[in-house]
């Protein structure tokens, strides 16, 4: 038995390590550095119906133990993703989790319907939490009703399990989590970025052309752990956790908080080999901490949370 393996709706993961959406593109660059087949799964960049060229630059800024991004969902659009990006990944033995974004319910539904039919797409990650684009002034992920309705609509048309990605920029994340569970989500992924900002000391103006951006990286780890812990106690669908993971201890800590697998975002920039290293280092660290298998740790944590 593979002690790193995890089974989730639609996903048979060799291990719990998944590059996070937006931090890995569609895998091309990283495929030059290591064999993508070693990964648990790949969360690809957000796909919208039409191609998007994103926000003006600068799009990134650095912060203490973190970074801000305001890419603005730049992507080649659904057609191109279906035609070239997903086929490229099909040469690897790795499930793809398609990150879906949109500016209207119709757009989300259309992308879900079509992208979920791609042969290597094993699950959808519904991105209702991008802080850098707005829908009537509010992101879909900050209102429980909107989140519920969108989840329901997308679930109906998706031919693979649906995971909904939650925003941390809310007063009560448990309320949103319950809403998407009720809407039929098969799982939750969390957290997306916190909204932050930096200013340029010379110009006195925001560094990002978009004024604000999404904060990611180690800085947000404690917020992610807290939210995952709270949500895992409140819902029964599984959680893929993310936010600030940079080392093997962080992986295990997030699973102990209630995640069933984890995604690695910003750490891919600090160290492009990080996912490979984490997969390699897990068994040793598990030995030291007397953890027999990841699925056992998940089970134990779930029992603790749900009695």
Closest CA to 41 of 117, 100, 124, 130: 124
- Chain positions contacting a second copy, by CB under 8 A: 63-66, 68, 142, 169-171, 194-199, 201-202, 204, 206, 211-212, 215, 217-223, 225-226, 229, 244, 246, 249, 252-253, 256-257, 289, 297, 300-301, 304
**Which of a second copy, other proteins, ligand FMN, none binds 46 (CB below 5-8 Å, type-dependent)?**
ligand FMN
- Chain centroid, CA 33 distance in Å: 22
Nearer CB in complex with ligand FMN: 2/270: 270
The residue within the footprint of other proteins, chosen from 2, 7, 12, 29 (CB under 8 A), is 29
**Which of a second copy, other proteins, ligand FMN, none binds 281 (CB below 5-8 Å, type-dependent)?**
none
Contact 163, 185 (CB under 8 A): yes
Kindly identify the residues of this chain, within the stretch 138-197, that bind other proteins according to CB under 8 A: none
Contact 36, 92 (CB under 8 A): yes
Q: Cβ of residue 63: shortest distance to other proteins, in angstroms? A: 8
Kindly identify the residues of this chain, within the stretch 91-130, that bind other proteins according to CB under 8 A: none
Q: Cβ of residue 226: shortest distance to a second copy, in angstroms? A: 4
* Active site annotation includes 130: yes
What are the structure tokens assigned to 61, written together? 């800024």
Q: Cβ of residue 250: shortest distance to a second copy, in angstroms? A: 9
Please, which residues have CB within 8 angstroms of residue 31's CB and are 6 or more apart in sequence? 92
Contact 160, 116 (CB under 8 A): yes
Q: Segment contacting other proteins (CB under 8 A): 65-73, 110-118, 161-169, 229-237? A: 65-73
Closest CA to 111 of 62, 103, 213, 17: 103
For β-strands 66-69 and 213-216, DSSP reports them as antiparallel
Calpha distance 267→161 (Å, rounded): 27
**Which of ligand FMN, a second copy, other proteins, none binds 144 (CB below 5-8 Å, type-dependent)?**
none
Bridge partners (DSSP) listed for residue 52: 75
Q: Cβ of residue 154: shortest distance to other proteins, in angstroms? A: 24
């Amino acid at each position: 038995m593979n002690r790193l393996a995890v089974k989730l709706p639609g996903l048979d993961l060799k291990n719990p390590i998944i590059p996070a959406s937006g931090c890995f593109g569609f895998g091309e660059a990283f495929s030059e550095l290591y064999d993508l087949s070693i990964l648990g799964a790949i969360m690809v960049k957000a796909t919208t119906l039409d191609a998007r060229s994103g926000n003006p630059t600068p799009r990134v800024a650095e912060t203490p133990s973190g970074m801000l991004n305001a890419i603005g969902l730049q992507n080649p659009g659904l057609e191109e993703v279906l035609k070239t990006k997903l086929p490229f990944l099909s040469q690897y033995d790795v499930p793809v989790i398609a990150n879906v974004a949109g500016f209207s319910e119709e757009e989300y539904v259309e992308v879900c319907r079509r992208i979920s039919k791609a042969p290597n797409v094993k699950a959808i990650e519904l991105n209702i939490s991008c802080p850098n684009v707005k829908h009537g002034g509010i992101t879909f992920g900050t209102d429980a009703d909107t989140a519920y309705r969108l989840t329901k609509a997308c679930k109906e048309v998706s031919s693979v399990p649906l995971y909904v990605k939650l925003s941390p920029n809310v007063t009560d994340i448990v309320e949103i989590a319950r809403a998407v569970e009720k809407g039929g989500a098969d799982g939750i992924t969390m957290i997306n970025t916190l909204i932050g900002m930096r200013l340029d000391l010379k110009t006195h103006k925001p560094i990002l052309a978009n004024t604000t951006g999404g904060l990611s990286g180690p800085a947000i780890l404690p917020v992610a752990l807290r939210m995952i812990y709270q949500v895992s106690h409140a819902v029964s669908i599984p959680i893929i956790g993310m936010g600030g993971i940079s080392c093997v201890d962080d992986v295990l800590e997030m699973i102990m908080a209630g995640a069933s697998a984890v995604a690695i975002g910003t750490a891919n920039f600090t160290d492009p080999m990080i996912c490979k290293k984490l997969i390699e280092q897990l068994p040793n660290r598990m030995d030291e901490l007397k953890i027999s298998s990841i699925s056992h740790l998940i089970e134990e944590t779930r029992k603790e949370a749900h009695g």
